A and B are shown apart, each in its own frame.
Chain A
Amino acid sequence: MKPGIIKVLLFGAAADRAGTREAEVSAEATTLDEFWPLLEERHPGLSPMRDTLAFAVNGEYARGGDRVSPGDEVAVLPPVSGG
């Protein structure tokens, strides 16, 4: 499959560490685990948080083996702290 744009949204402490709330990463269809290094390369400030982060793909929680494809929206979610 051809590479395409995967939109990344960052929240809370992750947005702080990345220095942005939004990013676009060009990638082929892959898994979240394989997508992470692409994001980390562009935003190395995220690295120390890796183990605390959760992810959502298109608005639903996703795990490392889940698929990410061009056109998808990936959200980087630090530990939630609502309430």
Chain B
Amino acid sequence: MDGSFAIVEETIDVGALVSEAQRPDCGAVSTFVGTTRIDESGGASVEYLEYEAYRPMADRKLQEIGAEIAERWDARHASIVHRIGRVAPGEASVAIVVASPRRGPAFEASRYAIERIKEVVPIWKREVWSDGYVWVGSQVGTRS
């Protein structure tokens, strides 16, 4: 299986990742894009999200997820790119692209990848609201 696993600080070029995944021995390219969602509560709203990672552990964990995909499914290509730093509303924070000869494994492997990211990859996000911030998952921050 080929592919790439990366943590980046710039905009994720999803189109380029999909192009790289297309190959004549595969009939399916499954793409999952996680985007920053704006929540509102009590008259305040999220202005942006900020991600941080423990590197190089996080890089290695993305590669391990790739290895797990290669073990479990007939995937010929897999790319996982996670963005860190400040991400504006609606932009991609993570992109997962899996190519397989048939659609089933491509769908399953991309779903697996995002669930594993949320379990084991040391990346954290902070919601920066108009009235303070909150670390997602810890509920620690400056919002009252």
Contact = CB atoms under 8 A, between A and B. Distances in A.
A16 B82 contact: no
B51 A78 contact: no
Interface string B114-140: 100111111111100000000111101
B124 A12 contact: yes
Given A12-B52, A12-B126, A12-B138, A80 B57 contact: no
A17 B53 CA distance: 17
B37 to A, nearest CB: 11
A80 B118 contact: yes
B54 A81 contact: no
Contacts of A77: 54, 122
A78 B120 CA distance: 11
A14 B58 CA distance: 17
A13 interface: yes
Interface residues on A, range: 20 to 34
B42 to A, nearest CB: 21
Interface string A56-83: 1001110000000000000101111111
Residue of A11, A14, A49, A81 contacting most chain B CB atoms (<10 Å)? A81
A16 B133 CA distance: 11
A54 B97 CA distance: 29
A13 B138 CA distance: 6
Given A11-B52, A12-B135, A13-B135, A49 B57 contact: no
B51 A82 contact: yes
Given A56-B54, A56-B122, A75-B122, A82 B60 contact: no
Interface of B: 34, 51-54, 56-58, 60, 82, 93-94, 114, 117-126, 135-138, 140-141
